[in-house]
């Protein structure tokens, strides 16, 4: 797990995994207590694909955790499309929160109330499930029913959600979202073919219990992976779908807008 947090120490270009970030490794946290933000990556992904958003939030007063979901990340995706993955992912987020609120080296730097979750794609499912969504497995192909409840224990410490092109097919049952009462920023991509907003974003907009708690924006010309930090030029290729955007979409420019938008929402709802 990668952690980014506010510090008074100047950063320097540092390799963090496969990517370079201006950070101060193991520097003391800045004075004060900061909200905790946990980012849940999509299936087969990596927390570091959201590094620019995390870095922006950390520079502006958040402690940000970038966990890698076991058995559902880029190096080991053996649990993809399995019920155990849907059960485990929200638990991973709970364990991250438990660990960071108890971490001695962060003592005093993390606010004990008001955790925010950011989830992209299947990370959006994970965040919703931990925030009170009652998920159900999808029925076998060709059948109208047959899905089974996925017993996930919700966490009242979660006080805000940011959902980026979320996958929400598991919340179609009547009342599945009635216990999700925290403020939500929902950003969908106009040209998303993995989680089309006409189904996924529309389901949330119809069934969340309090429309006043939902802030929604459809990002023009964006694709499903446009919410990820840009890849190094040498890795941008049609052979790597997460590096691709619809023609004419400027991912770097969008990332420069995404950080301030998410930060403004978190400041508004968490205080």
> Can you give the pLDDT at residue 78?
95
Residues of the chain with pLDDT below 70 are 139-146
pLDDT, tens only, 53-74: 999 999 999 999 999 999 999 9
Give the CA distances from residue 217 to residues 84, 157, 213, in Å, rounded to whole numbers and listed in that order.
32, 26, 14
pLDDT, tens only, 208-228: 999 999 999 999 999 999 999
- Residue 188, CA atoms < 13 Å, CB-side half-sphere: 23
The C-alpha atoms of residue 15 and residue 150 are separated, in whole angstroms, by 38
SS3 5: coil
What ranges do the domains of the chain cover?
2-139+147-270
> Can you give the pLDDT at residue 107?
76
H/E run at residue 58: helix 51-59
Mind giving me the DSSP string for 194-214? SS-TTTHHHHHHHH-S-GGGE
Q: Residue 23: name the closest of 60, 69, 58, 67 by CA.
A: 58
Query: What are the respective helix, strand and coil percentages of the chain, to the nearest 5?
Result: 35, 20, 45
Beta-sheet pairing, 36-40 with 63-66 = parallel
> Can you give the pLDDT at residue 97?
96
Give the CA distances from residue 5 to residues 23, 31, 173, 270, in Å, rounded to whole numbers and listed in that order.
9, 11, 38, 17
Phi-psi domain of 10 (left: phi exceeds 0; alpha: psi -120 through 50; beta: other): beta
Q: What is the dihedral of CA 50, 180, 218, 122, to 10 degrees?
A: 40
> Can you give the pLDDT at residue 43?
98
> Can you give the pLDDT at residue 266?
98
Give the CA distances from residue 247 to residues 5, 85, 182, 221, in Å, rounded to whole numbers and listed in that order.
35, 33, 35, 8
The C-alpha atoms of residue 60 and residue 63 are separated, in whole angstroms, by 9
* CATH code linked to domain 2-139+147-270: 3.40.50.1820
Task: Quote the pTM value.
Answer: 0.96
Q: What is the DSSP letter of 72?
A: S
> Can you give the pLDDT at residue 17?
86
> Can you give the pLDDT at residue 142?
46
């Amino acid at each position: 797990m990668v952690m980014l947090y506010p510090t008074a120490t100047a950063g320097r270009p540092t390799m963090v995994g496969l990517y370079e970030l201006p950070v101060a490794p193991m520097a003391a946290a800045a004075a004060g207590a900061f909200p905790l933000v946990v980012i849940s990556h999509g299936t087969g992904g990596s927390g570091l694909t959201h590094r620019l958003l995390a870095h922006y939030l950390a520079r502006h007063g958040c402690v940000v955790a970038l966990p890698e979901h076991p058995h559902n990340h880029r190096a080991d995706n053996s649990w993809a499309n399995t019920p155990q993955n849907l059960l485990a992912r929200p638990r991973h987020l709970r364990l991250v929160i438990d660990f960071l609120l108890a971490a001695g080296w962060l003592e005093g730097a993390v606010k004990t109330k008001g955790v925010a979750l950011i989830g992209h794609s299947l990370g959006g499912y994970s965040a919703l499930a931990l925030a009170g969504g009652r998920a159900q497995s999808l029925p076998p192909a060709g059948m109208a029913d047959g899905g089974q409840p996925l017993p996930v224990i919700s966490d009242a410490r979660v006080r805000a959600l940011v959902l980026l092109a979320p996958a929400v097919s598991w919340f179609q049952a009547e009342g599945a979202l009635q216990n999700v009462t925290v403020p939500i920023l929902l950003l969908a991509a106009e040209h998303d073919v993995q989680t089309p907003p006409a189904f996924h974003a529309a389901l949330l907009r119809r069934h969340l219990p309090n429309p006043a708690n939902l802030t929604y924006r459809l990002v023009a010309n964006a694709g499903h992976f446009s919410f990820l930090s840009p890849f190094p030029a040498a890795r941008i290729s049609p052979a790597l779908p997460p590096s691709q955007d619809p023609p004419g979409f400027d991912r770097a420019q969008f990332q420069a807008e995404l950080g301030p938008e998410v930060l403004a929402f978190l400041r508004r709802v968490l205080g």
